[in-house]
C-alpha cells in the first residue's frame, strides 16, 4: 500500500486534445446521456406501472434498464464534466471505485442478457412448459444470480487493481479507469495479472457470447415450425435481443480478449458498451414491440388510451 500511495491521483487524457472536438463531444455525450436516462427511465417506469411487469421478458427488461442507468452513470457524468476542463484528474480511491463499479454492473448486464435469452428460448422452444419453467420464483433467482455473478466477476478484478503498486507516471490514456490502462504503468511485472484479466473479462464475455449465439440459433431454427404471424412476432423480439448482444459484446470482446495492451482505438470501442449500447437499448426494445408501446401509452397517456379503448 505504501508504493500505491506514491500516487494520490491519476490524470485522464480523455478522448481528444482538440478544444473544438471536446466542445462537440460535450454536446454530443450530454445529449446521449440525457436520452439514455430518459429512455431507460421511461421503460423502467412503464413496465413497473403496467401488467407487463408480471411477464418474465419485461421483468428482465426492467432490470436491464436499471442496470444500464447505473452502468453508464459510473463513467459518463465524469466524461462529460472532464470535457469542459483542461486538466482531467481522478483520485486514487475514485479510480479504484470506478474499476469495481464498471465491472460489477457490466458483469451483471452480461448475465441479465443471458437470462433474457433463456426466457426467449423457453417461450419459443418450450411453449407448453413456459409458464412452469419461467415461474416467478425462477425469475427472481435468475436476477439474483445475475447480481451475484456481477459481484463475483468484479471483486477479483478490483482486488487486482488495488494491489498494483504505482510509482509513476500517472497519466491514463483513457476517459475512465480500467484494468489494462492501469497495468501499463504499474511498477511490477503484470503478466500474470494480465492473464487473470483476460480470463475474468475476455473469456467470460466470449463464452457468454457463444452461448447466446447458439441459443438464438436454436430459437431461429425452431421458428420454422411456427405460423407466419408467430414467426413475425417472435422474430421482432429476438432481433431486438440479438442487436443488443452484438452492440455490447463485440467491443467488450475486442478490448478484453487479447494480450494485456492498449490501443488508441480502445476509447472509441469503449464508447459502444458504456454509452451507445445503453442509449439504444430503449429504442431497440420499443420501436418494434407493440406491447411495450401500448403499455407506455397506457401509463403516460391514460386519457388518450381510455378514449381509444372506448371507441
158-168 pLDDT tens trace: 988 888 888 76
Predicted confidence (pLDDT) at residue 196 exceeds the cutoff of 90 = no
- Choose between 215 and 226: higher pLDDT: 215
Q: Residue 75's pLDDT is what?
A: 92
Q: Can you give the length of the chain in residues?
A: 311
Residue 36: domain span: 9-305
Asked if residue 281 is part of any domain, the answer here is yes
pLDDT at 104: 95
pLDDT band at 224 (very low <50, low <70, confident <90, very high): confident
- Beta-bridge partner residues of 14: none
Residues of the chain above pLDDT 70, percent: 92
Of 93-97, 166-170, 204-208, 285-289, minimum mean pLDDT range: 285-289
Does the structure show a pLDDT above 60 at 24?
A: yes
Torsion 126-146-50-246 (CA) sign: negative
State the DSSP H helix or E strand holding residue 11, giving kind and residue range, or none if neither: strand 9-12
> What pLDDT does residue 3 have?
42
In a domain, 85, yes or no: yes
Q: Is residue 64 within 8 Å of 116, Cβ to Cβ? A: yes
198 part of a folded domain: yes
pLDDT on residue 15: 84
Report the range of poorest mean pLDDT among 47-56, 240-249, 296-305: 296-305
Q: Is the peptide bond before 108 cis (omega within 30 degrees of 0)?
A: no
What SS3 class is residue 285?
helix
Would you say residue 17 has pLDDT above 90?
Answer: no
DSSP letter string, 213-262: HHHHHHHHHHGGGS-HHHHHHHHHHHHHHHHHHHHHHHHHHHHHSSSS--
Q: Is residue 311 part of a domain?
A: no
Which pLDDT score is estimated for 255?
Answer: 86
Residue 42 inside a domain? The answer is yes
Q: 215 lies in a domain? A: yes
Q: How far apart are CA 186 and CA 229, in angstroms?
A: 58
Helices (H) and strands (E) in the chain, counts: 14, 3
Region 99-124: what's the mean pLDDT?
Answer: 91
pLDDT of residue 81 exceeding 90:
yes
Q: Looking at the domain assignment, is residue 1 inside a domain?
A: no
Q: Is the pLDDT score of 212 beyond 80?
A: yes
Mean pLDDT of 203-217: 87
Per DSSP (E only), the strands in 18-175 are 89-91, 171-172
Q: What pLDDT, on a 0 to 100 scale, did the predictor assign at position 280?
A: 86
Q: What is the pLDDT of residue 259?
A: 74
Q: Dmax over Cα atoms in the chain, in whole Å?
A: 73
- Amino acid 303: pLDDT: 63
pLDDT at residue 287, rounded to an integer:
67
CA distance 162 to 129: 47
The pLDDT > 90 percentage for the chain reads: 30
Distance separating alpha carbons of residues 303 and 28, to the nearest angstrom: 35
Q: Name the domain count of the chain.
A: 1
Q: For position 308, what pLDDT does the model report? A: 54
CATH number assigned to the domain comprising residue 162: 1.20.1070.10
Amino acid at each position: 500500500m505504501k508504493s500505491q500511495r506514491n500516487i494520490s491521483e491519476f490524470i485522464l487524457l480523455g478522448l481528444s486534445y482538440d478544444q473544438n472536438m471536446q466542445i462537440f463531444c460535450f454536446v454530443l455525450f450530454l445529449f446521449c446521456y440525457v436520452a439514455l436516462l430518459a429512455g431507460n427511465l421511461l421503460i423502467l417506469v412503464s413496465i413497473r406501472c403496467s401488467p407487463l411487469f408480471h411477464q418474465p421478458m419485461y421483468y428482465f427488461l426492467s432490470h436491464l434498464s436499471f442496470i444500464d442507468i447505473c452502468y453508464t452513470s459510473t463513467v459518463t457524468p465524469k466524461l462529460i464534466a472532464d470535457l469542459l476542463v483542461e486538466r482531467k484528474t481522478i483520485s486514487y480511491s475514485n479510480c479504484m471505485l470506478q474499476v469495481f463499479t464498471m465491472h460489477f454492473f457490466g458483469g451483471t448486464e452480461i448475465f441479465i442478457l443471458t437470462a433474457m435469452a433463456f426466457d426467449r428460448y423457453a417461450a419459443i422452444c418450450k411453449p407448453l412448459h413456459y409458464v412452469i419453467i419461467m415461474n416467478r420464483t425462477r425469475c427472481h433467482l435468475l436476477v439474483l444470480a445475475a447480481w451475484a455473478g456481477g459481484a463475483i466477476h468484479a471483486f477479483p478484478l478490483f482486488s487486482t487493481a488495488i494491489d498494483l503498486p504505482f510509482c509513476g507516471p500517472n497519466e491514463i490514456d483513457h476517459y475512465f479507469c480500467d484494468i489494462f490502462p492501469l497495468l501499463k504503468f504499474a511498477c511490477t511485472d503484470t503478466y500474470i495479472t494480465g492473464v487473470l484479466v483476460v480470463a475474468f473479462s475476455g473469456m467470460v464475455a466470449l463464452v457468454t457470447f457463444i452461448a447466446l449465439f447458439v441459443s438464438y440459433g436454436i430459437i431461429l431454427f425452431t421458428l420454422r415450425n411456427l405460423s407466419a404471424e408467430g414467426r413475425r412476432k417472435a422474430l421482432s423480439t429476438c432481433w431486438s435481443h440479438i442487436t443488443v448482444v452484438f452492440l455490447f459484446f463485440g467491443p467488450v470482446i475486442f478490448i478484453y480478449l487479447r494480450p494485456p495492451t492498449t490501443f488508441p482505438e480502445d476509447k472509441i470501442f469503449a464508447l459502444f458498451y458504456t454509452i451507445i449500447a445503453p442509449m439504444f437499448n430503449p429504442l431497440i426494445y420499443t420501436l418494434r414491440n407493440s406491447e411495450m408501446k401500448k403499455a407506455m401509452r397506457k401509463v403516460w397517456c391514460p386519457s388518450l388510451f381510455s378514449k381509444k379503448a372506448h371507441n
